[in-house]
């Protein structure tokens, strides 16, 4: 059966609309969705179409029925990647979703020896880079650790990357403004691995020294038309619901 009716919107279109609002933070946890009648009027669809759309969102764990309150957004339904955070800021200026904060901000110079990072940034093992780390939290509970690594040529254009504290503007915008070059996001990749002790500590996971805790990790590299500019890694707490897609 087609997801979209030839004559207009289908249930997948309706579901996608509200999924995007939840992902962007425009619909916050415990916010109520419009009534079935209001959604029908907004999209020009039948009640059955609305019911199927809400069923999709419920199966994804994004919304739930709350009796007289109707359908509401689930509490802390999803944890987004740093790339999606960029998209959200471009769309509505929201750095954080409702109830979301960050802590543990660190900026440091370190020699890079990780083969994947060296390959992504065209660095030789032992070359120095600026590393920025922060822990994202929802309702004061850690949900992910964001790590961004920048080679010297990027930091020379955007020296704010080497300063402590939060960036007032995303690095890609500053780089483009100052060089006239477009910053392009590469393919985002997800994989699982065992968390390091530092990551377990940042995510406030109490595990025995000899236990192996698996975490989901997403990575992406940014480029201009000449060279790589930055490598981002997001490490998610076990049990996190992470939307995957471009």
Three-state secondary structure readout of 13-61:
HHHHHHHHHHHHCCCCCCCECCCHHHHHHHHCCCHHHHHHHHHHHHHCC
Q: Are 212 and 194 in contact (CB under 8 A)?
A: yes
pLDDT of residue 3: 36
Q: Tell me, what's the pLDDT at 239?
A: 84
Token reading at 146: 């964001």
Contact between 29 and 74 under an 8 Å Cβ cutoff? The reply is yes
Please give the Cα distance from 220 to 233 (Å, whole number): 7
Selection from 135, 136, 137, 117 nearest residue 127 by Cα = 117
CATH tag, 82-236 = 3.40.1410.10
The whole-number pLDDT of residue 8 equals 54
Of the options 3.40.50.2300, 1.10.10.10, 1.20.210.10, 2.60.120.260, the CATH number for the domain spanning 11-73? 1.10.10.10
pLDDT for the residue numbered 156: 97
| pLDDT computed for residue 76 by the predictor | 63
- All CATH 3.40.1410.10 domain ranges of the chain, comma separated, are 82-236
Q: What angle do CA 196, 101, 175 make, to 5 degrees?
A: 80
DSSP SS3 for 194: strand
Q: For the chain, where do the domains classified as CATH 1.10.10.10 start and end?
A: 11-73
The tens-digit pLDDT sequence of the chain (246 residues) is 233 444 457 898 999 999 888 877 788 888 899 999 999 999 999 999 999 999 999 988 889 998 888 899 987 667 777 777 777 777 767 677 777 888 989 999 999 999 999 999 999 999 999 999 999 998 888 999 999 999 999 999 999 999 987 788 889 999 999 999 999 999 889 999 999 989 999 999 988 877 889 999 999 999 999 999 999 999 999 988 787 765
pLDDT of residue 72: 93
Strand partners, 110: 129
Phi, psi for residue 228 in degrees, rounded to 5: -70, 150
């Amino acid at each position: 059966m087609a997801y979209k009716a030839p004559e207009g919107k289908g249930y997948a279109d309706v579901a996608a609309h509200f999924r995007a609002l939840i992902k962007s933070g425009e619909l916050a946890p415990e916010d109520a969705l419009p009534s079935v009648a209001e959604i029908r009027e907004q999209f020009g669809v039948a009640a059955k179409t609305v019911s199927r759309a809400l069923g999709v969102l419920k199966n994804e764990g994004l919304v739930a029925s709350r009796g007289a309150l109707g359908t509401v957004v689930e509490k802390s339904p999803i944890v987004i990647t740093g790339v999606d955070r960029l998209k959200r800021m471009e769309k509505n200026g929201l750095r954080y979703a409702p109830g979301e904060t960050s802590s543990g901000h660190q900026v440091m110079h370190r020699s890079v020896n990780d083969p994947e990072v060296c390959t992504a940034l065209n660095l030789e093992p032992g070359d120095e880079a600026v590393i920025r780390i922060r822990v994202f939290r929802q309702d004061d509970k850690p949900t992910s650790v964001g790590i961004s690594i920048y080679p010297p040529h990027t930091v020379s254009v955007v020296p704010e990357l080497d300063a402590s504290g939060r960036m007032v503007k995303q690095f890609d915008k500053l780089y483009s403004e100052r060089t006239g070059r477009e910053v392009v996001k590469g393919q985002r990749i997800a994989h699982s691995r065992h968390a390091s002790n530092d990551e377990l500590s940042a995510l406030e996971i109490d595990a025995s020294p000899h236990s192996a805790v698996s975490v989901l990790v997403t990575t992406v590299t940014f480029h201009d038309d000449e060279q790589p500019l930055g490598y981002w890694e997001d490490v998610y707490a076990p049990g996190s619901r992470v939307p995957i897609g471009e």
